[in-house]
Amino acid sequence: MTLYSKIIGTGSYLPEKRVTNQELTEQLAAKGIETSDEWIVSRSGISARHYAEPEQKSSDLAVHAARRALDMAGLQPDDIDLIVVASSTPDFFGSFPSTACIVQRKLGMSNNCAAVDVQAVCSGFVYAVATADSFIKSGAHKKVLVIGAEVFSRILNFDDRGTCVLFGDGAGAIILGASAEPGILATKLHADGRHADILSVPGSVAGGAVAGSAFLYMDGPAVFKLAVSVLEKVAHEALEQAGMSADQLDWLIPHQANIRIMNSTAKKLGLPLEKMVVTVDQHGNTSAASIPLALDIAVRDGRIKKGDNVMMEGVGGGFTWGAVLVRM
């Protein structure tokens, strides 16, 4: 029997602390940095973002999202035999130990299932899904918890209005289960390390201290130009792999980074904007968490239904990009 992987549960979580553009503008003004709600919305489409409390880590947000996905799937934590966590803001330096292992512990799992982190920045969730899909199709695992979780507020330079207004914290999760019925129809991943410098946290740990900068750096125009060019191409590659065309898509869920990039991608694919799930306005760019956050919201509000064809695609530092075509 041919094995496929299928999404059987989704979940998401946003920290309670919600910061609107107006509130952030007032905080920045106190530091002599000028911005406005209109400036932020016109450039990104973002109206608010959520910040984790000082004691909250990526694993804490991940566990909330995971429990909701498990509840939807009707599963217990010990039913899971692999955890894959995508995060650029792991609980410990160098993901050592992995955030996936911390999530396993916090879920109270006793079955010693495998657990691993994946790092592809904002493309991380797509990379994690592709990884989990391969494990299931190989027969090695049957039920995989895939999570994107971030606390980007910890790496933001609040003296840089070009980046600090864009990012937020959150987590999203799915459960992939082995199935005789196709679910993940195609995956396509890419990377080009020649562009590593345009989006990075250019620091490292040496002698117990940070060498370089521990803040996020982004060359906005360069990222925008590259993102627009690769997202359309990778979506078509995934469609071609599945033997489908764009007009067969019911929904597009791009990485929730910038509404202008998202709108451009939809238009290039010939999709009406009504077929694109947009949540970036409410939580900003949550990196690896953004796609599963948007997916869960659209599943729970009834937009995405069983049998729908959904294209999920992301682009992020590395430079990385990829797409996953799913039949729900």
Which residues are marked as active site?
Answer: 122, 255, 285
Contact 117, 85 (CB under 8 A): yes
For residue 15, give the nearest of 56, 45, 71 by alpha carbon: 56
E-assigned strands of 140-243?
Answer: 143-151, 169-179, 184-191, 199-200, 203-206, 209-212, 217-218
Q: Report the distance separating Cα 185 and Cα 27, nearest Å.
A: 46
DSSP at 165? T
Q: Report the distance separating Cα 129 and Cα 117, nearest Å.
A: 12
Q: Report the distance separating Cα 85 and Cα 65, nearest Å.
A: 12
Taking the mean position of all CA atoms in its chain, how far away is CA 35?
A: 27
Question: Cα–Cα distances in Å, from 82 out to 32, 164, 284, 291, 306?
Answer: 48, 34, 29, 20, 24
Contact 142, 177 (CB under 8 A): yes
Half-sphere exposure of 281 (CA within 13 A, CB side): 9
Q: Report the distance separating Cα 67 and Cα 82, nearest Å.
A: 15
Q: Report the distance separating Cα 95 and Cα 127, nearest Å.
A: 17
